[in-house]
Amino acid sequence: MAGVGPAVKIHWPSSCPGQSEAPEMTPEPADGLDIDSRGTKSPSEKKCGSNQASDEFRAIECSGLSLLGPSTGGGGPFGITFRLGRLLIAASKAGTYRCQRIPWVEQRWMSSIQIAKDAVKRPLRLLEYEPRHLEGVAKLCARVHGESAVEGFLGRLRWVDALPSSKEPPLRYVLARGDEIVGFLAFVPMRYQVGKEVLIAHTPAEYMVRRDHRFHGIRLMRESLQHFPDCISCDDVEATIKVSELLGFERVAPVVRYSKALDARVVLERVGMSWAHRKLHRPISLAMATLDEMRSHSTRSIRVGRAFRFDSRFDELYESCLGQEGISVAGDATFLNWRYGDLSPHASRKIGVIEEGKKLRGYVVFHRSRRPGDIGRVLDLRVRHQEDLDAYLSLLGYAVSGLRELGARVAWLHRLAAGKSLPKSLLRELGFRPRGELWLMVRLDKERHSRIAKDPDLWAFSFGDFEASFAGR
């Protein structure tokens, strides 16, 4: 192809001075150029032109291109890419060979050089968050997640500030280079009931690092977590989970996401029949709704009513569900009114309850997301007795019907793979199918707390209690 230099072969020498097992790249011979078996020019050829690379790139010689490069650059894939970029750029500038320039390699190299210069002039500092950092953190959020995410992010900060179980302001940390914020990490102090003891465990949330500083995110997490002996998290990003394990977290059990189609368009798209939307989705959606109604009415007549706030009946239900040995977020009425209150990302939630006199048999909290996709989430589901399948079925049927009326096309429900949660057979009966998973992870200081928390059968899990649900607007 015109304008493209000779192909490059990679050879792996058995040993190289100062390096171990590093590759060398040797150009294929071009027209009129004799190259012997070692890749060097024959003596009959004239030497390379006067436009040579500088001494910094002495690895680029007439004998070929070497990935060894100068002594700088480090090892591993990043170091190899770094050195390869320098060599290709120098070779193309020197004119020694007809090398094709690779823009993304050159761009990565130049970015690395700029970051190194900035690190000397403006070193990174880990600082406790102060109100003066708000503008810089908002700009970071816009850069990482987009302008549309800033409003929700600032709303969540105000919401966490109103947390009733926190006697002090929640701790937040920023990574700053000069006056510029390049990283941010916030912690939410959550009150847990571990047996008969109360434990304040911090949940890392609102973690973001600028893309060109993402390697410093580990430092941000490591140094921030030194202030908190007890932490509990729920995450679905495998890279973050691996880093958390390096920092002392342990996996408890997977949290499986179950999905149920509420609109026929979702089903038609899934089976490759998008063309049939206009003609078939209405009658199929009606049939799906009718089938769900029949399932919910198949139980003994259990009436599910609507509640508007969490009152003292929720306190009594929560206390009745506590065991001698068990762990859960302290889900009393005070917590629930904060979690789903006016400042919450889920302030438009709906509450369904089953009443038994002046007590509650169970309740469900659900919410339709404002994000694209019209996703409905079942955030909280609790019944007085775990074996009360009729209550589970009635509350879930009420939530599915309510989400369909709100316009949700898909319903999501998260279930801890073990522990005190509703049976999988019941979810299958209602049409829920597994679609991905998160991991519940803990890092607790006291041995007794850690022993209980690492046993998934002792958890009374509710997805709405964890940071993975906070941003689901």
- Report the C-alpha gap between 69 and 61 in whole angstroms: 11
User: Quick one: pLDDT at residue 413?
Assistant: 92
What confidence category does residue 19 fall into, taking pLDDT thresholds of 50, 70 and 90?
Answer: very low
Mean pLDDT value across residues 216-226: 86
What confidence category does residue 16 fall into, taking pLDDT thresholds of 50, 70 and 90?
Answer: very low
pLDDT tens by residue, 254-280: 999 999 988 777 766 666 666 566 667
Q: What percent of the chain has pLDDT over 90?
A: 29
- Higher-pLDDT residue of 166 and 194 is 194
What is the phi/psi pair of residue 427, to 5°? -65, -40
Mean pLDDT value across residues 176-195: 90
User: Quick one: pLDDT at residue 38?
Assistant: 39
What confidence category does residue 473 fall into, taking pLDDT thresholds of 50, 70 and 90?
Answer: low
Lowest mean pLDDT among 145-159, 185-199, 219-233, 262-276: 262-276
Q: Which CATH class is domain 255-469?
A: alpha beta
Mean pLDDT value across residues 131-158: 92
User: Quick one: pLDDT at residue 18?
Assistant: 42
- Report the C-alpha gap between 338 and 165 in whole angstroms: 10
Lowest mean pLDDT among 86-100, 254-268, 451-465: 86-100
User: Quick one: pLDDT at residue 86?
Assistant: 54
What confidence category does residue 12 fall into, taking pLDDT thresholds of 50, 70 and 90?
Answer: very low
Q: Find out whether 391 and 300 touch, Cβ atoms under 8 Å.
A: no
User: Quick one: pLDDT at residue 196?
Assistant: 82
User: Quick one: pLDDT at residue 238?
Assistant: 85
* Residue with the two structure tokens 């169970």: 362
Biggest CA–CA distance in the chain, Å, is 104
User: Quick one: pLDDT at residue 360?
Assistant: 95
Tell me, yes or no, if the two domains 124-228 and 255-469 fold the same way: yes
Check whether 460 has a pLDDT greater than 80. Answer: yes
- Higher-pLDDT residue of 57 and 107 is 107
User: Quick one: pLDDT at residue 364?
Assistant: 95
H helix intervals, 272-388: 277-296, 312-321, 333-339
Mean pLDDT value across residues 184-198: 89
What is the residue extent of each domain of the chain? 8-121, 124-228, 255-469
Check whether 249 has a pLDDT greater than 90. Answer: yes
User: Quick one: pLDDT at residue 141?
Assistant: 94
* Residue with the two structure tokens 């569900």: 321
- Report the C-alpha gap between 238 and 251 in whole angstroms: 12
User: Quick one: pLDDT at residue 423?
Assistant: 84
H helix intervals, 162-227: 217-225
Lowest mean pLDDT among 61-70, 147-156, 339-348: 61-70
- Report the C-alpha gap between 361 and 356 in whole angstroms: 6
pLDDT tens by residue, 271-330: 666 656 666 767 777 777 777 777 666 555 688 999 999 999 999 999 888 766 788 898
What confidence category does residue 105 fall into, taking pLDDT thresholds of 50, 70 and 90?
Answer: low
Burial label, 184 (beta-carbon count in 10 A; 0-12, 13-18, 19+):
buried
* Reduced 3-state DSSP string for 408-434: CCEEEEEEECCCCCCCHHHHHHCCCEE
Lowest mean pLDDT among 8-17, 180-189, 281-290: 8-17
DSSP string, 232-292: EEEE--HHHHHHHHHTT-EEEEEEEEEEEE-SHHHHHHHTT-GGGHHHHHHHHHHHHHHHH
- Report the C-alpha gap between 196 and 203 in whole angstroms: 21
Q: What percent of the chain has pLDDT over 70?
A: 67
Instruction: Give CA torsion, residues 205, 210, 211, 217, to 10 deg.
Output: -50
- Higher-pLDDT residue of 2 and 325 is 325
pLDDT tens by residue, 367-423: 998 765 688 999 999 999 888 888 998 899 899 999 988 888 889 999 998 767 788
What confidence category does residue 66 fall into, taking pLDDT thresholds of 50, 70 and 90?
Answer: very low
The fold of the 124-228 domain, in CATH, is Aminopeptidase (3.40.630)
